[in-house]
C-alpha cells in the first residue's frame, strides 16, 4: 500500500522492471467489520482486479514485520533522521528528540546531515567526533552539490525507509533526488507528479492537507503519508506534517534504551546490573550508568517531560 486517503488505497503491484502498476483499491467490508485497519506499507491481497480501469479490492492484510504510530505505517525497515548542518543550524536537543522518537520504535536508525557544502571541513570533523560520542556515525550529504547521495541510495536500497526531521533541512529535496523516475511517476517530481488514477484531484487534496498542517490550523487537518519508489529499489516515505516528535510512545522506563550511550554502558558492564530493576539512572545507589556524557542533561530533561505527561495522563483518565 503506497498511499491511503479516505476510503481509497493506492496499491503498487510490483514488477521486475520499473516501479510496477498502481491500482486504486477499496477495502473489503469484512476487514472493516473486524476493525483490521489497512496501513501504508502493508502487504495486501488484492482481488476483483479491473486491469483496464486499474481498480481492485483489498481482501486481506499480510502479517506485519513492524508497525509505527506516528505516522501510522506498517513494515518500516529503517528510519532516516535528516538534519542540516546549517540553514537551519543543527540544534543538538532537537536532534536528540528526533533520535529518541525513532529509536523508541526499535527500528534501525541512520543519521544524515545535509547541506554539507555550507560548512568547512573543521566543522564536519567536529560534528563527526561529537555524534560518534553519542553513538552515531553521521552521514554527510548535500543535495545541492550531490555529495553523499550515492552512499545514501546504497543504504536505502530495497528497504522501506521513513524520513524524518524538522522542516527546511532538505527532506523533499533529498526525496526528489533519490526517487525513481520511471513507472507511474512523472519525472518532474515534487508536488506536480502525475497521478494516472486520481489525476489532479488527488494532488489538490494532498496539497490542501499539507498547507493546513503547516499553518497549524485545527487539529483535524489531513496528514498524508505516501511511499515513493527509489531508483535503487525500495521505498522512501514522505511524512508531511509529522515533523514534531511527540514522544508519546516513550515511557520513563523505556527512555534509557533510546540513548545508545546508556545502552552501551549497560552492555559494557554485563553481567553486572544496576541494583534496582527499575533504575532510572539518576544517581540511585548501585547505578552503573555514569553521568559524564554530553547528552546526560538531555536524558534528564526528557525524563522530566515524560514524567509530567504520565502524571497528567493519570489525572485525566
Ligand atoms: P524540507 O522542509 O525538509 O522538505 O526541506 P526542503 O527540501 O523543502 O528544502 C528546504 C530548503 O533547503 C530549500 O530551499 C532547498 O533548496 C534547500 N536545500 C536542500 N538541500 C540543500 C543543500 O544540500 N544545500 C543547500 N544549501 N540548500 C539545500
Ligand atoms: Zn541505573
Would you list the DSSP string of 223-285? Answer: ---EEEEBTTSSEEEE-TT--S---TT--HHHHGGG-HHHHHHHHHTTT---SSTT--SSS-T
Q: Is 68 helix (H, G, I), strand (E, B) or coil?
A: strand
Summarised one tens digit per residue, pLDDT across range 44-76 is 999 999 999 999 999 999 999 999 988 889 999
Which ligand is in closest contact with the Cα of 256?
2
Task: Using the predicted structure, report yes or no on whether residue 222 has a pLDDT greater than 90.
Answer: no
Give 173 Cα–ligand 1 centroid separation in angstroms: 6
Reported confidence tier of residue 232, pLDDT bands at 50, 70, 90: confident
ipTM of the complex in this document: 0.99
Q: Which atom of ligand 1 is nearest to the CA of 141?
A: 23
**The pLDDT value given to residue 97:** 97
Q: Which atom of ligand 1 is nearest to the CA of 142?
A: 23
Here the cell at position 160 is 522501506
Q: Which atom of ligand 1 is nearest to the CA of 165?
A: 3
Q: Is 150 helix (H, G, I), strand (E, B) or coil?
A: helix
**The pLDDT value given to residue 73:** 94
**The pLDDT value given to residue 32:** 85
**The pLDDT value given to residue 17:** 66
Summarised one tens digit per residue, pLDDT across range 254-313 is 999 999 999 999 999 999 999 999 999 999 999 999 999 999 999 999 999 999 998 888
Summarised one tens digit per residue, pLDDT across range 24-42 is 999 999 898 888 899 999 9
Which ligand is in closest contact with the Cα of 112?
1
Average of per-residue pLDDT across 12-32: 85
Which ligand is in closest contact with the Cα of 165?
1
Q: Whose CA is nearest to atom 18 of ligand 1?
A: 170
Summarised one tens digit per residue, pLDDT across range 176-216 is 999 876 433 333 333 333 444 444 444 434 443 343 344 44
Q: Whose CA is nearest to atom 17 of ligand 1?
A: 170
Kindly list the protein residues whose Cβ atom lies closer than 6 A to any atom of ligand 1.
Answer: 114-115, 117-118, 142-144, 167-173
Reported confidence tier of residue 238, pLDDT bands at 50, 70, 90: confident
Q: Which long-range contacts (CB under 8 A, 24 or more apart) does 28-36 make?
A: 28/57, 28/58, 28/59, 31/58, 31/59, 31/60, 31/61, 36/61
Helix axes 171-178, 149-156, angle to 10 degrees: 80
Q: What is the pTM of this model?
A: 0.86
Check: CB of residue 99 under 8 Å from CB of residue 258. Answer: yes
Q: Whose CA is nearest to atom 15 of ligand 1?
A: 170
Average of per-residue pLDDT across 206-231: 55
Number of Cβ within a 10 Å radius of residue 4: 23
Give 95 Cα–ligand 2 centroid separation in angstroms: 24
Average pLDDT over all residues of the chain: 86
Nearest 10 degrees: Cα torsion 12, 222, 83, 92:
-140
Rounded distance between C-alpha atoms, residue 166 and residue 57, angstroms: 36
| Integer angstrom CA distances of residue 243 from 55, 89, 98 | 33, 16, 9
Here the cell at position 267 is 552492555
Task: Using the predicted structure, report yes or no on whether residue 139 has a pLDDT greater than 90.
Answer: yes
Q: Which atom of ligand 1 is nearest to the CA of 174?
A: 7
Here the cell at position 191 is 508536488
Amino acid at each position: 500500500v503506497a498511499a491511503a486517503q479516505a476510503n481509497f488505497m493506492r496499491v503498487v503491484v510490483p514488477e521486475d522492471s520499473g516501479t510496477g502498476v498502481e491500482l486504486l483499491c477499496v477495502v473489503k467490508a469484512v476487514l472493516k467489520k473486524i476493525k483490521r485497519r489497512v496501513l501504508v506499507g502493508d502487504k495486501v491481497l488484492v482481488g476483483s482486479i479491473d486491469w483496464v480501469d486499474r481498480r481492485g479490492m483489498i481482501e486481506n492484510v499480510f502479517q506485519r514485520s513492524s508497525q509505527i504510530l506516528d505516522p501510522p505505517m506498517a513494515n518500516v525497515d529503517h528510519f532516516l533522521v535528516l538534519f542540516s548542518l546549517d540553514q537551519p543550524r543543527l540544534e543538538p536537543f532537537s536532534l536528540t528528540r528526533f533520535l529518541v522518537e525513532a529509536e523508541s520504535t526499535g527500528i534501525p536508525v541512520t543519521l544524515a546531515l545535509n547541506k554539507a557544502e555550507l560548512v568547512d571541513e573543521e566543522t564536519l570533523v567536529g560534528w563527526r567526533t561529537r555524534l560518534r560520542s553519542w553513538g552515531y556515525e553521521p552521514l554527510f550529504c548535500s543535495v545541492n552539490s550531490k555529495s553523499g547521495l550515492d552512499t545514501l541510495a546504497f543504504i536505502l536500497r530495497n528497504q522501506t525507509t521513513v524520513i524524518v526531521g524538522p522542516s527546511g533541512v532538505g527532506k523533499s529535496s533529498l526525496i526528489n533526488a533519490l526517487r525513481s523516475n520511471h513507472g507511474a511517476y512523472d519525472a518532474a517530481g515534487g508536488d506536480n507528479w502525475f497521478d494516472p488514477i486520481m489525476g489532479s484531484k488527488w494532488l489538490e487534496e494532498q496539497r490542501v492537507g499539507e498547507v493546513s498542517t503547516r499553518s497549524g490550523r485545527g487539529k483535524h487537518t489531513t496528514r498524508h503519508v505516501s511511499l515513493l519508489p527509489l531508483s535503487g529499489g525500495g521505498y522512501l516515505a514522505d511524512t508531511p506534517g509529522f515533523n514534531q516528535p511527540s514522544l508519546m510512545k516513550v515511557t520513563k522506563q523505556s527512555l534509557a534504551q533510546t540513548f545508545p550511550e546508556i545502552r552501551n554502558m549497560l552492555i559494557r558492564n554485563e553481567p553486572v546490573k544496576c541494583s534496582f530493576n527499575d533504575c532510572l539512572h539518576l544517581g540511585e545507589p548501585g547505578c552503573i550508568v555514569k553521568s559524564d556524557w554530553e547528552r546526560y542533561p538531555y536524558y534528564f530533561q526528557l525524563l522530566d517531560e515524560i514524567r509530567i505527561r504520565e502524571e497528567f495522563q493519570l489525572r485525566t483518565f
